[in-house]
Structure 1
C-alpha cells in the first residue's frame, strides 16, 4: 500500500489502519496541524485518488473528480491513495495549549461590543487570524478570535452581546478584572499567508474586525508590503467601532486602503452606506491573483465569496472564518 503526497512528490509505504496525519509527520511531510481533535481544521487536505475513512465516514475520490477534503488527524488510511496538501510552503504548526489566564480589562466599544483583555501565564503562540476557546470558572465556554499578535503583552478579544448568549452576557455583566480564565488554542485556518506577495482583500463584518486587525498587523510585523484593500461593514452607526485603529494602521501602511461601510444611510456619515458586498462589487473588477480573508456572519461570508469567485478569485485563496451567533 502506498500514499502519494502532492505537490511535494513523496511516496510513502503505509499499512491499513494508519492515521494520515501520523504518517505525514513520521515521514517529515510538511503539513499544518494544531488541535489534533478535528476542531481547528488546520490539517485539511484533499484526497484525489483512492479511498480513506474519515471519522467513520467513507471518502472515495475517483480520479474523475477534483477530490474531497478531509482532516488528516481524523482520517484512517484503508488502501493506496493520493492526497494533495494545500500550500506546502505555508505550513503552520502551533501545538495546542491550555493556558491559565487572568482578565486584565473589560471595556465597552459600542452598546453591544466589549473588548476583553487578558494575560496568560505562558505565551499563546498563534498565527494572525486564528482564534482560541475561552472558558471561565463558571463553565461558560466560547471561541473568540484574537485581535492582536502573539508578541503582544496581552491577548485581546472583541465580544458581541448575543441575544440569549450565555457566555457573552456573562463576560459583559459578571466578569471582573482579576478573574481567572482558561485559554485553549490556537484554532482556525483563516490565518495570514506570509508567502503571498500579491494584493490582499480583507473583509470584516461586526466583530469579524478582530481577526482582520490581527492579519493586517501581522502583515506589518512581517515586513510585507502587499497592497491591502480592507472593507469593514456594520449595520448602523451605533455599531461602528475600530475606525481610529484602522486609520492608524493605514497611516503606518501606505498600501492599506480602508473602506468602512454602514448599512443604515446617515446624512452626516463620513462613510459609505449600504452592504459591504455592494461596496466590494463597485470597486473590485478583477481579483485574479489576489488572496482574501473574510470574517463575520455566515450570510456575509457566503455573499462575499460568491462575488469574489465571480471576479476571478480562486476558491483556495479565500480564507473564511464564520461567526455563528448561538445561545452558548
Structure 2
C-alpha cells in the first residue's frame, strides 16, 4: 500500500493498519507532534485523496476522506491515499511531558487577572505560543497559555477569574505560594514560526495576550526583524495590563507596533475605542503576504480569522488556539 506525502512529493510503502504518525516517523518524514494521543493538535494534516480511519477516543472507527483535516496520531491507514503535511520547514517536536511544579508567585495584574508563576522541577521545552494543562487538584484542571519562552527556571500564566468558574474560583480563594501543581504539555499549534520574514499581525483579547507575549518574546530572543503589529483588545481601561512588557519589547524589536483597543468608551484617554477586529479592519486594506497569531475568546478568534482571510491572508497562515470558557 502506498501513501504519497505533499508537499514533499514522496511516496511511502506502508501496511494497512499502520498508524499514520508512526508511518511518517518511521520513514523520517519531518512532521510536528507532541502528545501522540490526540490532545495537542500538533500533528494536524489534510487528506488530499483516499481514506484513513480515525481511531481516537472521540472518533472511533469513523472514516476521513478528501479535504478533511485529521490528527496523524489518531489516523489508521486503510488504502492508498495522498496526505498533505503543513510547513515542512517549521517542525516542532516537543515530546509531551507531565511535570511537577511549585507555585512560586501569585500576583494581581488587573482586578480579575492573576499572574501565576510556577517553579519547575525539570526543564520544560515548548515553542512560544503553546499552552499546557495545569492540574491544581484532581477536580481543578484547566489549560492555560505560557506567557514566557522556555527556560530552565519557571513558567508564567495569566488567569482571568470567572465568577462561578470551578478552576478559577479555586485559584482565587485557595491556591497559595508553595502549592504543588501538575503541568502537562506542551499543547497547541499556534506556535511561533521562526523561519519566515513575512510581516506579522497579532490579535489578542484579554488574557489572550499571554501567548502573544510569548510569541513576541520568542521573536526578540531569535533576533527576528519582521514587521509586527500587536492589537490588544480589552473590555474597559481597567482591564489593560502588560503595557510595560510591550514597551520593553519595542526596545528589542524596532519593527514592533502596538495598538490597545478598549471596547467600552469612558473618559477620554490615550487608547482607541471599539472592537479590536474593527481596528484591524480600519487599519489595513490588504494583508496579503502576512501571517497572524490570534488568541482569546472563541467568538473573537473566529471573527478575526474570517477578517484576516477576507483581507487576503492565506488560511494556513492564520494560527489560532481559542480559549474556551466552559468548566473554567
3-state DSSP of counterpart to 1:163: coil
Matched, 1:165 2:165: yes
Q: Is the Cα contact below 8 Å between 2:123 and 2:152 reproduced in 1? A: no
Matched, 1:60 2:65: yes
Q: Which moved more, 1:136-145 or 1:26-35?
A: 136-145
Deviation at 1:152, TM superposition (A): 6.0
3-state DSSP of counterpart to 1:267: coil
1:72-87 equivalent positions in 2, closer than 5 A: 72-87=72-87
1:281-327: CA deviation from partner (whole Å, max 9, x where unpaired)? 11111111100000000111111111111110010000011011123
3-state DSSP of counterpart to 1:308: helix
3-state DSSP of counterpart to 2:80: strand
Residue in 2 aligned with 1:240? 240
Q: Is the Cα contact below 8 Å between 2:17 and 2:76 reproduced in 1? A: yes
3-state DSSP of counterpart to 2:194: coil
Residue in 2 aligned with 1:103? 103
Q: Is the Cα contact below 8 Å between 1:296 and 1:323 reproduced in 2? A: yes
Separation in structure 2 between the aligned mates of residue 127 and residue 85 of structure 1, nearest angstrom: 19
Q: Is the Cα contact below 8 Å between 2:110 and 2:238 reproduced in 1? A: yes
Separation in structure 2 between the aligned mates of residue 297 and residue 264 of structure 1, nearest angstrom: 17
Q: Is the Cα contact below 8 Å between 1:115 and 1:157 reproduced in 2? A: yes
Separation in structure 1 between the aligned mates of residue 65 and residue 273 of structure 2, nearest angstrom: 47
1:173-322 equivalent positions in 2, closer than 5 A: 173-322=173-322
Separation in structure 2 between the aligned mates of residue 145 and residue 71 of structure 1, nearest angstrom: 21
3-state DSSP of counterpart to 2:219: helix
3-state DSSP of counterpart to 1:280: helix
Q: Is the Cα contact below 8 Å between 1:236 and 1:262 reproduced in 2? A: yes
1:10-57: CA deviation from partner (whole Å, max 9, x where unpaired)? 111111111000000001000000011111100000110111111221
1:199-230: CA deviation from partner (whole Å, max 9, x where unpaired)? 00000000000000000000011111000011
Residue in 2 aligned with 1:121? 121
Separation in structure 1 between the aligned mates of residue 269 and residue 152 of structure 2, nearest angstrom: 33
Taking structure 1 as the reference length, the TM-score comes to 0.97
Deviation at 1:251, TM superposition (A): 2.3
3-state DSSP of counterpart to 2:125: coil
3-state DSSP of counterpart to 1:53: strand
